[in-house]
Structure 1
Amino acid sequence: MKKILLVETKLMLRDWPSVVISIALPVVLLVSLGQIPTLRTPDPTFGGQRFIDAQLPAQMVLLALLTISFTSLPSVLTTYRERGVLRRMSTTPVHPARLLAAQLLINLSVALVAVVLIIVAGRLVLGSQIPANIFTFVLVVLFGTAAMLAMGLVIASIAPNSKSAPGIGSIAMFPLMFVGGMWIPRETMPETLRTVSDYSVVGPLINAMRDTWAGQLPQLPHLIVIAVGLALFSVLAVKLFRWE
């Protein structure tokens, strides 16, 4: 397993542009959007908080998780399946599930690096708050990342080839970004759209991150929705995933 992790890490670093984009995109957007004056002033819509404290960091964390889970992970796995890597591994004592586990661990690590940089950049450049309940925030991020990666595995399962995987991931990613509040804050959404967001996994994840960012405990209904999403998409990935 250590050898597989080492090799997969080297292969990922050779494809460094995609890794840099996954990490740098949310950080650059955070810093750029944070320069808008109206986002740096207290807003009654967010309980008197600034947008760069109440909304923006959690949204950029969600963007990083979705980018890694919906584009990077499916692309790599469909390429391996298309080239017969998984099929050849299945004939050896090393089951291809170990390769799958290595990919999940590597993408989880990349996601955590992106989250750390978002927090640091927000604090140093924008003066935004850091998560007040940092330990619980990390647990929520890990929990949410697992759910996002499970969704990514489903995309890798249904994508017919490596060229279509990023496209399918994007088709799924942008609606989730919308209901997650990337363009319209959840507080200003119509009631019907907010209900959809509440059951979309990304909506509860955003809320749980914001709660822990403000120093509160995540609400149980939000955690339940994330857990159900993780279980559902994990089962679907297991049922649908093809090694060849």
Structure 2
Amino acid sequence: MATANTVPAPRTAPSRASLAVLRSEARLFLREPGSLFWILAFPTVLLTILGLIPSFREHDDALGGRRVIDLYVPVAVLLAMIMAGLQAMPPVLTGYRERGILRRMSTTPVRPSAVLGAQIVLHGAAALGSTLLVMAVGRIAFGVRLPGQPFGYLLGLLLAVACVLALGALVCAVSRTTKIAAAIGSAVFFLMMFTAGVWVPVQVMPDVLRHIVQVTPFGAASQVLDRAATGAWPSWAYLGVVALWTVLAAAGAIRTFRWE
């Protein structure tokens, strides 16, 4: 009796579906001028405004001969990440869940996780794109040196992006509606802005406050980027703080996230 050879069907459909979701989400993302401005443009605009203050361009012995504007480049970089992960991403995903889009997708070949993955990729890429813009403007307009330890700086950037996206996913997980997501996201957003040094650079905070801030994800990330910018390898302690917050936030998001 002849037997027919059975050829397994290629498992390319899920990949194609995920790419289709990514393209669709990218088009929707590019149609949101508000998100694009706050993530891509606002950190650079803020850096430019601060750089136009004459005293911020003067070398200060209390800062080791550096200028205030030198300290604000890493801060502006972190600001872009915070905007992407805590302000832009949570309302989108929570809105999809609130409208039942994720639940309906669970009955199709396209899994809801494809939307989550697409949002993480898009907002992470936007944050990194804003980083390049901030560093370019800082260098060209105000003579801020490029990171003296590029590999340490890149490691710090990737950890910080992973951390903020994990925090954003956690905000989505614990928020049942877009209003709750906006409220929680805004509260965490302003706290993270402070610890990142947006209002006062971490390096010039009072000792007690600085020690407290340095155990927060973006206080530690600010120290990592600042140290790498000066040419030294970032402290493993600060890298460990950012990594620990990333793991905790991701674990919390995985444990509590619901598609409907």
TM-score band, normalised by shorter chain: over 0.9
AA paired with 2:246?
A: L
* Mapped pair 1:35 → 2:28: no
Say if 2:158 is the partner of 1:139. Answer: no
The question of 1:183 aligning with 2:183 is answered no
Alignment of 1:1-244 (within 5 A): 1-53=18-70, 55-244=71-260
In 2, Cα distance between equivalents of 1:214 and 1:78? 40
| TM-superposed deviation, 1:102 | 1.1
Structure 1 residue 235, shift from structure 2 partner = 0.5
Task: Using the TM superposition, name which of 28-37 and 184-193 deviates more.
Answer: 184-193
Indicate if the aligned counterparts of 1:211 and 1:217 stay in contact, CA closer than 8 A.
Answer: yes
Task: Could you tell me which runs of 5 or more consecutive residues in structure 2 were left unpaired when the two chains were aligned.
Answer: 1-17
Identity percentage over the alignment?
A: 37
**TM-score for both structures, normalised by structure 2:** 0.89
User: Take 2:204 and 2:147, find their aligned partners in 1: how far apart are those partners?
Assistant: 24
Q: CA deviation at 1:237?
A: 0.4
Cα distance, 1:187–1:17 mapped onto 2, change above 3 Å = closer
How much has 1:70 moved relative to structure 2? 0.5
- Gaps in structure 1 of 5+ consecutive residues: none
Aligned residues: 243
Q: Post-superposition shift, 1:81? A: 0.5
Q: Is the 8 A contact 1:150 1:234 kept in 2?
A: yes
TM-score, normalised to structure 1's length?
A: 0.95
2:60 touches 2:66 (CA, 8 Å); kept in 1?
yes
Q: What SS does the corresponding residue of 1:92 show, helix, strand or coil? A: coil
Alignment partners' CA distance in 1, 2:85 and 2:110:
25
CA distance in 2, matches of 1:17, 1:176: 20
What do the CA deviations read for 1:124-148 (whole angstroms, capped 9, x no partner)? 2212112222233122111111001
